Chain A
Amino acid sequence: MAETVEPLIDRDTLSAVLTEAMSAGAGFADVFVEQVERASVQLDDGRIESLASGRDRGAGIRVVEGDSTGFAHTVDLSSRGLLRAAKAAADAARRGNQGAVQPVELGSLDAADGGVAVAPSSVDKADKVSLLRKAEEAARGADGSISQVSAGYGESRRRILVANSDGVHAADDQTRTRFSVGCVASDDGTLQTGNETVGLSTGYELFDRYDVEQMARDAAGRALTKLRARPAPSGTLPVVIGPGSGGVLFHEACGHGLEADLVRKGASAFAGRKGELVASPLVTVIDDGTMDDEWGYLRIDDEGHPGSRNVLIEDGVLVDYMWDALRARAEQRPSSGNGRRQSYRHLPMVRMTNTYLSGGTTDPEDIIASVDNGVYVARLGGGQVNTASGDFVFGMVEAYLIENGRLTAPLREGQLIGNGPKVLQMIEAVGNDFAMGPPGTCGKDGQGVPVGDGVPTLKVRELTIGGTAA
């Protein structure tokens, strides 16, 4: 392994800290140590505006006693600082309990190999600047109507170390790299936007796979197309969703509702439905932390458990929820590797990784041809769900009318709204053209984590389209 040979905190210190955390007779404790370095370069308005670097280092200590969790974090990684945080967490969880001291013994460190082909920090800043310049020129060159271009480059390296009272002692080294281009097209006072973003859990080799000039032309093309877009219809219509970015549909329609912490609180429309047919038999939904290089890829989660491939819905039947260590402990089952946290300052909870609908057999052309009057959504933006009612929304950022089985006029942006449990039953066709979508950030209870999602072309019998046209 490359640079993580030196663990962030040694084993003896971690054992002592966990022993202190458990000293009130707690049921479980863990230490999460994190060191992050980030860098970004931003081009906007014709100029490299700024370069920014950020660094973070700290530890969060969690103590679980019954249903109560005490949590404290510190930037002081000395043995003294960590012990003080452990005591604060134990005090916070204790609430009057007093038990025997149980020394915690850790095994040797299980460090994942987080090597990347080209560490972004090893690349000259001037090279990153020139990538942005190239993207800008390509976007402006696409058409005279492109009135504004922004482009951003970002890299992060996150080293984590997790140890817990069950003996877990694991480390990982996570690198992510991303690039985005945003264009504004203007025509006679009308402004429209087009974007393209790529990101992978890799190093600078991201740019062996993606051509930033092509990305820029794609972003410009989207903005230009929308200049002649008409208002989206309002009301209920059949909707065909294109491959890739449509994965956000399943992230919102069922992903969040299958998180075990929400299920437990009755805040999920899927609570108590394991083994039931909850979706069209065409639907198989998987959350897969092991998808190499994808944005939501993780070798271990933030509780030290290996990332894994979890089938959530198979041929329409609800197979399982997603689990973190806490919910898994409470129900005496293994974690599914979905315990994630934004940083050492945050408590872990159940989170998705890469969530997708697996591919079907239908030719995407045939799916479009099967619709007389509907909407084709080429790209979806973000979304939001109320997990308890199952109602969700997501934005269409590139969409077209379907008339008599053919794509016709481009549509202005609008929101689609549906109910997760209902929409899952209404999937009428699944294409053979599976693709992952752009990198996403999923927000839950104020914490953001990187996630991926993907879908093949698919048809939903009906969704409500929030446009302004009658």
Chain B
Amino acid sequence: MSPDELLALASSVAERSGKGEEIEVACSAGESTSVRVYGGKLESLTIASSQAIGVRVLVEGREGFASAGTLDPDSVEAVLSEARDNARFAEADRFMGIAQPDGVEAVDVDLWSDEVLSTSNEDKIAIAIEAEQRVRDADSRITGVRVSAYGDSAGSFALASTAGIRACTSATFASLSIQALAQDDGARTQTGFASDGARKPSDLDLDAVSKRAVSQTLDLLGASQPKTATVDLVLDPRLAATVLGLIAGTLTGDRILKGRSPFVDRVGEQVASPLLSFLDDPTDPKSLGADAYDGEGLACRAVPLVEQGVLQGYLHDSYTGRRSGHGSTGSAVRGTRGLPSPGLHAMAVRPGSGTLDELIGQVDKGVLVFSLAGLHSGVNPVSGDFSVGIEGRMIRNGRLAEPIAECTVASTLQRLLLDVAAVGGEVSHLPMGVSTPPVVIGGVSLSGA
């Protein structure tokens, strides 16, 4: 379905609203390809097309939602009537309602490349095979590649509502990921992972991905359990994005209004090291989280969150914006099949200075982190308790030392922000939509033997 057809479908459903009824309709459709190779050969090639519709109905502050993975007339009919029926049973909230246009002009960000659709499947398979081959050939200690995968998607999202919102965006995305395996003298197997994402296949950095997968794997060979200690953590951009993204994810209006964040009522306070500033900026076209509209069809905009360590505000969708009195920050995130809620689109950490190597050079006793494990079970976004498994290399007197595994680091989300000891100067735009330089966090508990 073309973007125009999607928007026309969404509008036609929204226009069926009855008296006193607000309706918001989201529709999406797209194509995707997924390639996995193994041993120099195609393991699987998935050719997919998908579509979805999600309908929100509001009657006097009562909300009902329904969705379907098909756009045929029967499904659309069923979804509208289920959403209406669901609204009968929800309880009213005077702040609940669909987004009202707020006059903010959407920034024109180009998220589309024809190359995703014009590249042949053979060429897509060749990318994954080439990446696998480079990793296998890099070093004799590489024993295999668990997966070398290429994936892409090209799709459109349309949103129409009884408030007059008509929004439509199209985006493409391509990704490459590799997990390598290595073994040394019958020792235990280590793995290393690397990935890249871009708007089009030719922007994928095959060389960097394969080199990183190799080095992360080989550098862990012979890893042992370290002694329990207090260390500085050096996070490269990918890991900095993971940790800071988790923390920024607690700065959402729903968590704040419901008392489920350690950062409730703390705007204007020094919640982080003065070295740290970050915002959510979907208007930056370089970010892979860039977007013109949020999940309720309002224009995306830059939202300051932490400036030199001082908390500036929270991320709001239209509901939390109304309830808090601040208005929406255009931060609604959603899939077509789910309800909108406030969240990060394109977190951006302001660069400081220094390369990753220079940051390592400034650390007396620390760990250069390769991977974090158990983020979903080891981080409590309400209490802030943080305890996760890590693998990486010890740093002693500014130099990389032995590899370590089977250990955890523990702190709280609150402490991690305050303990930021350095912010690097080189920003990476990561596949998950976060743009950040490397970051050093001081004084974290490392648990091992």
A: residues with CB less than 8 A from B are 41, 44-45, 47-58, 66-75, 88-89, 92-93, 95, 125-126, 129, 147-148, 184, 186, 190-193, 226, 232, 234-236, 262, 265-267, 269, 345, 347, 381-384, 386, 388-395, 412-415, 417-419, 445, 464-468, 470
Contacts and interface: CB of A to CB of B under 8 A. Distances in A.
Q: Which of A67, A68, A415, A468 counts the most B-chain CB atoms under 10 A from its CB?
A: A415
Interface string B73-94: 0010011001101111111010
A308 B382 CA distance: 40
A468 B444 CA distance: 8
Given A72-B47, A347-B46, A466-B410, A53 B86 contact: yes
A383 B259 contact: no
Nearest to B61: A47
A466 B389 contact: yes
Nearest to A85: B47
B404 to A, nearest CB: 11
6 contacts: A54-B69, A73-B48, A75-B50, A234-B447, A395-B378, A417-B408
Given A265-B38, A467-B387, 5 more contacts: A186-B259, A191-B262, A391-B391, A395-B387, A445-B147
Contacts of A265: 38, 144, 146, 181
Interface in B96-136: 121
Given A57-B69, A466-B408, A269 B189 contact: yes
Contact of A191 (B144, B259, B406): B259
B374 A395 contact: yes
Contact of B44 (A70, A389, A464): A70
A389 B188 contact: yes
Contacts of B257: 45
Contacts of A384: 373-374, 376-377, 389
B385 interface: yes
Interface string B354-388: 00000000000000000001101110101111011
A468 B374 contact: no
Contact of B86 (A50, A67, A89, A388): A50
Nearest to B191: A388
Contacts of A88: 47
A51 B384 CA distance: 29
B28 interface: no
A189 B301 CA distance: 32
Contacts of A68: 41-45
Nearest to A381: B377
A418 B191 CA distance: 16
B146 A468 contact: no
Contacts of B90: 48-51
B421 interface: no
A56 B69 contact: yes
Contact of B70 (A58, A347, A468): A58
A381 B388 CA distance: 13
Given A50-B63, A345-B50, A468 B445 contact: yes
Contacts of B85: 125
B242 to A, nearest CB: 13
Interface string B156-193: 00000000000000000000000101000000111100
A129 B89 contact: yes
A56 B385 contact: no
A91 to B, nearest CB: 8
Going nearest first, the 4 A-B pairs with the smallest beta carbon separation are A466-B408, A395-B377, A393-B374, A51-B86
Contacts of B71: 75
Given A41-B89, A129-B89, A393-B389, A468 B410 contact: yes
A345 B90 CA distance: 32
Contacts of A75: 50-51, 69-72
Contacts of A71: 44-47
Given A89-B47, A266-B189, A464-B449, A55 B260 contact: no
A390 B190 CA distance: 9
B324 interface: no
Contacts of A147: 259
A190 B383 contact: yes
A88 B409 CA distance: 48
Nearest to A414: B387
A382 B377 contact: yes
A148 B373 contact: no
Given A73-B48, A267-B181, A415-B408, A466 B388 contact: yes
Task: Give the one of B69, B83, B144 with max A CB within 10 A.
Answer: B69
B89 A51 contact: yes
B320 to A, nearest CB: 11
